[in-house]
Amino acid sequence: MTDASSPTLPDSVTVIRHPLVQHKLTLMRQKQTSTGEFRRLAREISLLMAYELTRDLPLEDVAIETPLEPMQAPRLAGKKLCIVSILRAGDGIMEGMLDLVPSARVGHIGLYRDPETLVPVEYYLKLPDDVSERLVIVVDPMLATGHSAAAALSRLKQAGAGQLRFACLLAAPQGVSVLTEAHPDVPVFTCSIDRELDSHAYIRPGLGDAGDRLYGTK
């Protein structure tokens, strides 16, 4: 596996190595982990990821009154976040982030891969009207080939999003390369960069199909 200390890792990529994140990811990888447990772990780990993703949000001082006296205290400045889920598995990551930032706006983008051209095709897009004024965090559990994620980011830029970050549980080296080459301006956050993609575009060692494991489907 590659980690954040690798000399080949682009500067725009951050591997979140917090012990709780790594522990929960190990539990998610195990094939015996049940659907309910997998879903709970995804929610918990995404909340911890959101902490890392938002550590540099701007603050402003405002006047408040505590039970004892008035004071100037910091709060988030400007528009709140927008979290955009790449359907369907992205919802499993988005929910945990909303636990931490419940006032965030939500968007969805749906993509499928054309079986002949293998090009991502958009079938659904719903975003807040003021997406251009918000920091947009795009979430998908897996960054495998990177083509769908790159297409989603391109579409969001076309829709006016100017501040973008991408978050996933696992990434393959190929996916990181594709995404960072297509969008060098977009910071990428992941919990692990695994060894490789196999011939079926599954991340190895990975954790299986995240959508199937989240929703109990095959």
pLDDT of residue 115: 73
Residue 166 tokens, joined: 């991408």
Entry pTM? 0.91
137 is an annotated ligand-binding site residue:
no
Whether 148 has a binding-site annotation, put simply, is: yes
CB atoms within 10 A of CB 33: 18
Are 151 and 120 in contact by the 8 Å Cβ rule? The answer is: yes
Exposed, middle or buried: residue 184 (CB in 10 Å: 0-12, 13-18, 19+)? exposed
What ranges do the domains of the chain cover?
13-215
- pLDDT (0 to 100) of residue 13: 97
- Name the residues annotated as catalytic: 113, 117, 209, 212
Tokens of 7: 């000399």
CB neighbour list of residue 210: distance below 8 Å, 6 or more residues apart: 42, 89, 92, 141, 142, 169
Tell which residue, 135, 209, 139, 203, has the closest CA to residue 167. 139
User: Is residue 118 part of an annotated ligand binding site?
Assistant: no
The reply, when asked if residue 8 is annotated as ligand binding, is: no
> In this structure, what DSSP letter does residue 9 have?
S
Is there a binding annotation on residue 143?
yes
- pLDDT by residue, tens only, the chain of 218 residues: 445 445 478 899 999 999 999 999 999 999 999 999 999 999 999 999 999 999 999 999 999 999 999 999 999 998 889 999 999 899 999 999 999 999 999 999 998 877 777 678 899 999 999 999 999 999 999 999 999 999 999 999 999 999 999 999 999 999 999 999 999 999 999 999 999 999 888 999 999 999 999 999 87
Which pLDDT value is given to residue 205? Answer: 97
Cis peptide before 102 (omega within 30 of 0): no
Q: Tell me if 12 is assigned to a ligand binding site.
A: no
Q: Is 185 annotated as a binding residue?
A: no
Q: Which residue shows structure tokens 């927008």?
A: 82
Strands (E), the chain: 13-15, 59-65, 70-76, 82-86, 105-113, 120-126, 135-139, 142-143, 163-171, 188-193, 196-197, 203-204
Find out if CATH 3.40.50.2020 is the number for domain 13-215: yes
With the CA atoms of 5, 53, 25 and 93 taken in that order, what torsion angle do they form, in degrees rounded to the nearest 10? -150
pLDDT of residue 120: 84
Beta bridge partners of 107: 84
- Predicted confidence at residue 5, as pLDDT, reads 44
Looking at residue 78, what is its pLDDT? 82
pLDDT at res. 215:
92
Specify the DSSP element, H or E, that contains 42: helix 35-53
pLDDT at 17: 96
Tell me what pLDDT residue 118 has. Answer: 67
